[in-house]
Amino acid sequence: MDESAPNSVPNALERVALFVRRPAAILTMGIWAAAEAVVLPIVPDVGLCLLVLAAPRRAVLLFAAVVIGAIVGTLVLAALAQQAPDAARALLLSIPAIDPGLLASADQTLARDGVAGFAQLGPGAPLKVYTVEWLAQGGDIAGLLVGTVLNRITRIGPALIVAAVIGQLAGRWLRRHSRLTLAAYAAFWILVYVAYFTGSV
């Protein structure tokens, strides 16, 4: 059934597209990315890819907000890690799915690869883990900032491109089947996080 007939009330996905045009969308993604870089366990991809599916032409602007937010959050966590490294590690270990083994793995990656170790394709340690481990190894802030941008590009970039391409090529179909689109999108992320929090990925 067509959910976007002429002169009808905008459906859910169309309302998302309308939201993307507002400054609040940029602010929301920036705050989400900053919070995730410090303590939030839910990645900004969840919101970002939905917004990009609804409004693919805003992908670059939305991604810029995510990168800037991640930098801000990383600097906040870096300040804590420099002043109270034990408290920073305790904070990380209080977050679901982060354990000492994950910290040790990130530490080994950074020791081996340096800044390039921040690059990440697919599942892996959250950015905040790399932040704390980088500073624990004596890494500098300049390298941390480069690593943060590299991490966001390599970890979020591919999903962003896929969402933008789907939104551009199949946007009309997605809007016509708004409920199905949103249900499938929500189900995907629920499955991802059930697997993540239970240690299946």
Q: How confident is the model at residue 1 (pLDDT cuts 50, 70, 90)?
A: very low
pLDDT at residue 201, as a whole number: 62
Q: How far is CA 183 from CA 2, 5, 29, 174, 177, in A?
A: 16, 20, 21, 11, 10
Q: Is residue 5 part of a domain?
A: no
Q: Is residue 190 part of a domain?
A: yes
Range(s) of the domain holding residue 108: 12-197
pLDDT (tens digit per residue) in 28-45: 999 999 999 999 999 999
How buried is 124 (Cβ within 10 angstroms: 0-12 exposed, 13-18 middle, 19+ buried)? middle
pLDDT at 5 over 90: no
pLDDT at 4 over 90: no
Question: Total structural domains in the chain?
Answer: 1
Quote the CA–CA distance of 19 and 2 in Å, as a whole number.
21
pLDDT (tens digit per residue) in 130-152: 999 999 999 999 999 999 999 99
Is residue 58 within 8 Å of residue 20, measured between CB atoms?
A: yes
pLDDT at 119 over 80: yes
Q: Is residue 138 part of a domain?
A: yes
Q: Is residue 1 part of a domain?
A: no
Q: Is residue 6 part of a domain?
A: no
Q: Is residue 137 part of a domain?
A: yes
Q: Is residue 128 part of a domain?
A: yes
Quote the CA–CA distance of 121 and 156 in Å, as a whole number.
8
Q: Is residue 3 part of a domain?
A: no
